[in-house]
Structure 1
Amino acid sequence: MLSSRENDNTLSDLTVLPKIKLAVISSRNEWDIHEPRMWSRASGLSDPELSSFDIENDLVEVRAGATSYGTIILGKIRIPAINDAEGFMTHPTMYKFGTGDVLFHSLFTDEGNRDADGKPTTFRAIQTRDTPLEFFNE
C-alpha cells in the first residue's frame, strides 16, 4: 500500500491544494475556540505563513491504496514555517473515485494519551516526522 512520492501517479491529479490549505486554516480557527493546544505550535503564525506549503516542495510522503469505491490517498505535508525539534507535518486524507478528480476529505488531528476518565490529555494537529501515515476516521 505504500507509494513513494516519485512513483505515485495520483499526484499528477492533486488539484486539492487550495482545499487543504483552507482546511488547515479552518481547523486551527475552530480548534482555537475549543482547545487551543491542538494548534499551539502554530500559534505565532499568520494564516499565510501556516498555509505556505506546496505539493512540489513540501509533500514528503504518500500512501495510497485501493478501496471498493476508488483510491484513498494519505499525505504528509511539511509546513515550512514550523521548523522545530518536534516536527512539522500535517496529514491530509484524499479520495479518488475511479478516473475522477482527487477530492480532499480531512486532516488528521490527534487527541491522545487519554486519562482514567477517557479524556485526552495531549492534542496535536502538527505531527512529527516519525508519525506514520495511517487511515483515520474524522
Structure 2
Amino acid sequence: MATNEVISLNDPHAPTAKAIEAFSVVQKELKSEIIKSRHHWDKHEPKMWSRAEGISDHDLVNFEFEKDLVEIRSAIVSYGTIVLGKIRLPAVNDAEGEGFVHVRIHDPPNRGTEDVRFHSIWTDEGNHDADGRPTTWRAIQTKDTALEFFNE
C-alpha cells in the first residue's frame, strides 16, 4: 500500500494529454462519488461541503477536465501509477475564491488508460482538539491548498 513515506510524487504541474485522458475514463464515477460524498457528509458533518451550500448537485459537478483539471502530481508504484488531480469546481466561487477538489486515481501498468480506476476524494478533517477530534472539515479546497498525497 502506498504511503507518503514510500512514494515519491513528482512536482505539481499542468496536466498532460495523457492525464486528461486518464481522468476522463473515471469521469462518470468521479462525479457520482463527489455527489455521494456530499450527501454522506451533509448527514454527518455539513461543514465538510459547506462551500457548496445552495449549489445543486448538477452544477457542483459541472466541470470539464480539459479546462478544470488544473494541476496533477503522480508517482510510480509497484502496481502502476498513482495520479493526484486538482479539479476546479466552476460553480464554487465564494469569499475564499475558487473551489477545488483533490482526487486520487490509479492507473495499473501495461494496459493504457482503459483500466484507470477512481480511488478517492480528499476530505480534510484538518485541525484537531486536545482529544484528537477534528475541529475543521473541508472537501472543497482553495487555489492555494497544496496537492499532497492522501490515502483515504
TM-score, length-scaled by structure 2: 0.85
Say if 2:10 is the partner of 1:4: no
Say if 2:91 is the partner of 1:81: yes
Aligned pairs for 1:1-138 (under 5 A) are 1-2=10-11, 4-7=13-16, 9-14=18-23, 15-86=25-96, 87-100=98-111, 101-138=115-152
Shift in Å at residue 97 of structure 1? 0.3
Stretch moving more, 108-117 or 79-88: 79-88
Question: For residues 56-98 of structure 1, what are the alpha-carbon distances to aligned partners after superposition, in whole Å with 9 as ceiling and x for unaligned?
Answer: 1100001011011110000000000001242400011000000
Distance of 1:84 and 1:136 partners within structure 2: 25
Q: Is the 8 A contact 1:21 1:51 kept in 2?
A: yes
Taking only the aligned residue pairs, the percentage that are identical comes to 53
The alignment partner of 1:73 has SS state of: strand
Residue 4 of structure 1 aligns with an amino acid whose one-letter code is H
Count of matched residue pairs: 138
Q: Is the 8 A contact 1:17 1:54 kept in 2?
A: no
Shift in Å at residue 6 of structure 1? 4.6
Shift in Å at residue 133 of structure 1? 1.1
Shift in Å at residue 112 of structure 1? 1.1
Report the RMSD for the aligned CA atoms in angstroms: 1.4
Structure 1 unpaired stretches of 5+: none
Q: Which runs of 4+ in 1 moved over 6 A?
A: none
Question: For residues 12-52 of structure 1, what are the alpha-carbon distances to aligned partners after superposition, in whole Å with 9 as ceiling and x for unaligned?
Answer: 33311111111110000000111001001111011101110
Shift in Å at residue 131 of structure 1? 1.0
The structure whose residues are more often strand, as a share, is 1
The alignment partner of 2:125 has SS state of: strand
TM-score, length-scaled by structure 1: 0.93
Distance of 1:3 and 1:99 partners within structure 2: 24
Shift in Å at residue 130 of structure 1? 1.1
